[in-house]
Amino acid sequence: MPTLVVEDLHVNVEGKPILRGVDLELERGQVHALMGRNGSGKSTLALALAGHPNYQVTRGRALLDGVDLLALTPFHRARQGLFLAMQHPPEVEGVSLREFLRLACSERGQGFCEFHKHYPSAVAKLAMEGLDSRGLNVGFSGGEKKRSELLQLYLLRPKVALLDEPDSGVDVDALRLIAGAIRDLAQSGTAVLIITHYPRILDHVPPQSVFVLEDGRVAERGGYELAHRIAEEGFEEVLR
């Protein structure tokens, strides 16, 4: 039984239909990739699942371990175990990543001691030393923002992790750190969905399954080899 089941999901943005019946399943402990051209609806799927108020679900279901996420507020979805690592996380002045994470972890039932046991090694793993006491995302470079998202993901240990372009704007070294954290996460049981239009990251985190989104629907699905075909032939050819 998959951890996350999305069925016939339709989503409008400002009254305009963007998703037109998405079906996909994410399995516990597995890495999945969601690929597709710019504008195919990849980020819309992630934001709609997380409950962003600008994304109106007009039809469909999304079940996390049998619980209908779409009936819940964004924070209840998070407390059910959903996590979205954002493509462009906003800056929050005066709130340190450390303080914020301590609060978020305690909401998820992690005590003070548990948090402090995991925190230093997670910070070291993602090379976030020194950044975690500054304002959240304030003045972070593109790569630092991605690592900050990964650090949050790593400590909150969700059941389902959606990563919206975790590889955009990061250098090779940061990509390795990020890929390593994602592999760890999957090994510990999280169902991971990597959203990307560029297969490079998948060389570091080979996915078990690949979905290709086109025009608001999953147009193609397959294994890791599908990502290779896209890398070699391009979306145009694969979707033909």
Partner 1 sequence: MSDRVATARLSRAFVEALSREKNEPDWMLEHRLRCLELFEKLPMPRFGPDLSELDFSDLAYYARPVAPVRSLEELPEEIRRTFQALRLPEAEQKALAGLGAQVDSEVVYRSLLEKVRAQGVIFASMDQAVRDYPWIREYFMKVIPPEDNKFAALHGAVWSGGTFIWIPPGVEVAVPLQSYYRMQTERVGQFEHTLIIAEPGSSVHYIEGCSAPRYTRAALHSGMVEIIAKEGAKVRFTTIQNWSKNVYNLNNKRAWVYAEAAVDWVSGSLGSKVTMLYPTSVLLGPGASTENLSFTFAQEGMWLDAGARAIHKAPHTTSRLVSRSVVQGSGVSVFRGTIRVEEPARGAKAHMECSTLLLSPQARSETIPLLRTETDDVEVGHEATVGRVSQEQLFYLMSRGLDESQALSLIVNGFVSPILKEIPLEYAVELRGLLEMSFEKAVG
**Window of 44-52, 59-67, 120-128, 219-227 that interacts with partner 1 by CB under 8 A:** 44-52
Between 1 and 109, whose beta carbon lies closer to partner 1? 109
Pairing of strands 82-85, 160-164: parallel
User: Would you count residue 230 as binding partner 1 (CB under 8 A)?
Assistant: no
Distance between CA atoms of residues 124 and 45, nearest Å: 32
Sole window of 27-35, 85-93, 176-184, 219-227 interacting with partner 1 (rule: CB under 8 A)? 85-93
Q: Is 94 in the site for partner 1 (CB under 8 A)?
A: yes
What residues does 101 pair with on adjacent strands? none
Q: CA 73, 50, 47: angle at the middle one, nearest 5?
A: 130
CA diameter of the chain: 54
Least separation in angstroms between residue 84's CB and partner 1 is 6
Instruction: Please give the residues from 144 up to 203 whose contact with partner 1 meets the rule CB under 8 A.
Output: 152, 156
Rule CB under 8 A: is residue 77 a binding residue for partner 1?
yes
Residue closer to partner 1 (CB basis): 192 or 212 = 192
Q: How far is CA 24 from the centre of its chain?
A: 15
- Judged by CB under 8 A, which stretch of 100-108, 185-193, 202-210, 214-222 contacts partner 1? 100-108
**Side-chain half-sphere exposure of 173, counting CA atoms within 13 A:** 4
Min dist CB 11 to partner 1, Å, is 15
**φ and ψ of 27, to 5 deg:** -100, 145
Burial of 56 (0-12, 13-18, 19+ CB in 10 A): middle
By CB under 8 A, tell whether 133 contacts partner 1.
no
Binding site residues, partner 1, CB under 8 A: 50-54, 73-75, 77-79, 83-84, 86, 89-90, 92-95, 100, 103-104, 107-108, 135-136, 152, 156
